[in-house]
Chains A and B, each alone.
Chain A
Amino acid sequence: MKGSDDGSGARLAAGVCLAWVRLYTAGLSYERRQLRQDLIAADIWDQSHDLEGRSGLLALDLLRRCLAGAPADIAWRMTTRSPPRTTAPFAWPEGRRSEMTESQAFVLLTLLCGFAWALVAVMLLSPTAHSLAYAGAALTVIALAGWALEIRVDNPETGPSAWPPALAAGLAAIAAGLVVREEYAGLAPAVPVALLASRAWVSSLTASGAPAVVGPAPLAASELAARAGAGAALAIELPEGRQVSRRSVILGGLWLGLGASVAAFAASVVDYLWERKPSVFGGVIDAGPMSRFPPGSKTKVPAGKFWLVHLTAEQGGPGFLALWQKCPHLGCTVPWEENFAVTDPSTGEKTKGWFRCPCHQSTYNHAGVRVLGPAPRSMDRMALTINAETGRIEVDTGSISKGTPDNANFAVRSTSG
């Protein structure tokens, strides 16, 4: 063997063997698992000391023995009975009330509180028309999680359970959200819930026997990791009397995670079924208020792939036109060339400013009327309406009329004249 053999391969192989032991003994009693691990560990130790100095061979042989014995391991596991369960895997709230300690309630309330405020923040940051239904779904999740964990708002001992009403409110909000489409409506249920959760959190913080002010600074994540690495049981560090079992944190996380994924799934279904008008190309595009387009302007609206043209009187207006940017010749995108000058064949005068296709030099005037080039017709127009109430220009990109070798007098007249 080469001298560079440092035994790391053998250590890795031994680790694999023992990992396999832990895997197939999963579900057996702690003692039984430990015994089995000791058995195999001793065997590996004996073999490695028997074959000292040939650890490359050893690593391979360990893996081979592990693999060769795997079917027998599985057979052994199947004939070895798991210990009877001493407790049911899930207990419904009744049994949990007395179990829930103040400190556990504190941590779980912190989680719920954070979840509720995160919900509010998300709703403010990215408003959606379905916010009420989403908020309702989230509220339902919070309520279900809270109910399952049975944290009471007023007093952990005697207060009424806050969760059934919260659940009802959540379901009602989902139902209302199907009708009401208001961007910030979701805040109506979300903010009270967040406030309520915060109140419960504060009252839990100042509950009897606990210091009102959080004492020592919480341990840094690196320190916790170091402790866990050193084999210490991982406990979230809290002020005295507020030790929280890992079990309760994991359980809380489990419920929240489970609920959140169910809610996300439900929300995606609702979103999918939601009737909506397309506001992309093919649908009606809101180009903005009339005032944004001064007379004589040509404004590109990329979302609708059209030029919004405000024609002046001498250009054939006054009025608005939505010209599809696609050249009727071979489909290139037609830009407005402010400084391009050519002789207008209709007047014989050389003027500046034309729509000119870069591909084959088809040239169109202010109103998109073809004057030069290979294009078969003038630029295509989209149906344009001016909303009388709002004064906004709406362009239906799904309703396109083909251009003709036409005059420029087809502009939509603006009421402002």
Chain B
Amino acid sequence: MRRKRGKLIPLELAILNAGVDLRALGTDEFHGYLLAKSLKEVEGARRLVGHGTLYKALDRLESAGLIESRWEDPDLAAVDSRPRRRLYRVTAAGSAALAEARRRQEQLAQLRTEGAPAI
């Protein structure tokens, strides 16, 4: 099924959410595994998200311009003798999209608690 353009699925929202939270905690950029771990904590999930699911969502967010990414400095990786990481950060557009989504959710929640307005 094709998704509506611009519509974010829960996982993508959760990624943006986690990214903004991480920034608030002082981590401006995050890599895939860090993200998977914080998603697990935020969602209270028992398991880490699958590789394919995670990176596909990241790909989609990036092509929508909501996050941006770069390869980390290979020298840095070489010091730890580990593979280089891809570092992601939430863009301004990403923050805005998240805020917009949150606003809508709040509206929806409000409607639910207050009941539908009388016509």
Name the contact of B51 in the complex, choosing from A17, A50, A74, A75 (C-beta under 8 A). A17
Name the contact of A67 in the complex, choosing from B33, B50, B56, B71 (C-beta under 8 A). B50
**Complex formed: what's the CA distance from A144 to B111 in Å?**
77
Does A127 count as interface, using CB distance less than 8 angstroms?
no
Does B103 count as interface, using CB distance less than 8 angstroms?
no
If A42-B31, A50-B37 touch, does A68 touch B53 (CB 8 Å cutoff)?
Answer: yes
**Complex formed: what's the CA distance from A65 to B37 in Å?**
13
Of the listed stretches B12-20, B21-29, B77-85, B92-100, name the one at the interface; the rest are far from the partner chain: B77-85
Does A40 count as interface, using CB distance less than 8 angstroms?
yes
By a CB distance below 8 angstroms, the chain A residues around B47 are 61, 64
Does A69 count as interface, using CB distance less than 8 angstroms?
yes
**Complex formed: what's the CA distance from A39 to B36 in Å?**
13
**Complex formed: what's the CA distance from A46 to B48 in Å?**
13
**Complex formed: what's the CA distance from A72 to B56 in Å?**
6
If A38-B83, A45-B82, A45-B83 touch, does A70 touch B32 (CB 8 Å cutoff)?
Answer: no
How many residues on A have C-beta within 8 angstroms of the other chain's C-beta atoms? 27
Does B86 count as interface, using CB distance less than 8 angstroms?
yes
How many residues on B have C-beta within 8 angstroms of the other chain's C-beta atoms? 25
CB of A42 within 8 A of CB of B33, answer yes
**Complex formed: what's the CA distance from A41 to B84 in Å?**
8
CB of A76 within 8 A of CB of B55, answer yes
Does A401 count as interface, using CB distance less than 8 angstroms?
no
Does A47 count as interface, using CB distance less than 8 angstroms?
yes
CB of B52 within 8 A of CB of A69, answer yes
The chain B residue with its CB closest to the CB of A65 is B50
By a CB distance below 8 angstroms, the chain B residues around A74 are 52
Q: From residue A52, how far is it (CB to closest CB) to chain B in Å?
A: 13
List A27-55 residues whose CB lies under 8 Å from chain B.
Answer: 36, 38-43, 45-47, 49-50
Q: From residue A17, how far is it (CB to closest CB) to chain B in Å?
A: 7
**Complex formed: what's the CA distance from A39 to B37 in Å?**
16
CB of B48 within 8 A of CB of A42, answer no
Does B49 count as interface, using CB distance less than 8 angstroms?
yes
Interface of A is mostly: helix
Name the contact of A65 in the complex, choosing from B49, B71, B82 (C-beta under 8 A). B49
Name the contact of B32 in the complex, choosing from A39, A50, A64 (C-beta under 8 A). A39
Does A66 count as interface, using CB distance less than 8 angstroms?
yes
CB of B33 within 8 A of CB of A47, answer yes
**Complex formed: what's the CA distance from A17 to B8 in Å?**
28
By a CB distance below 8 angstroms, the chain A residues around B57 are 72
CB of B52 within 8 A of CB of A38, answer no
**Complex formed: what's the CA distance from A75 to B59 in Å?**
12
By a CB distance below 8 angstroms, the chain A residues around B53 are 68-69, 72
CB of B36 within 8 A of CB of A43, answer yes
**Given known contacts A47-B36, A73-B51, what 17 new A-B pairs fall within 8 Å (CB)?**
A38-B71, A38-B83, A39-B32, A39-B86, A42-B31, A43-B31, A43-B51, A46-B34, A61-B48, A66-B50, A68-B49, A68-B50, A69-B51, A69-B52, A72-B57, A74-B52, A76-B55
Top 7 closest pairs, chain A to chain B, by CB? A69-B52, A69-B50, A68-B50, A73-B52, A46-B33, A72-B52, A41-B83
Residues of B within 8 A of A (CB): 31-34, 36-37, 47-57, 59, 71, 77, 82-86
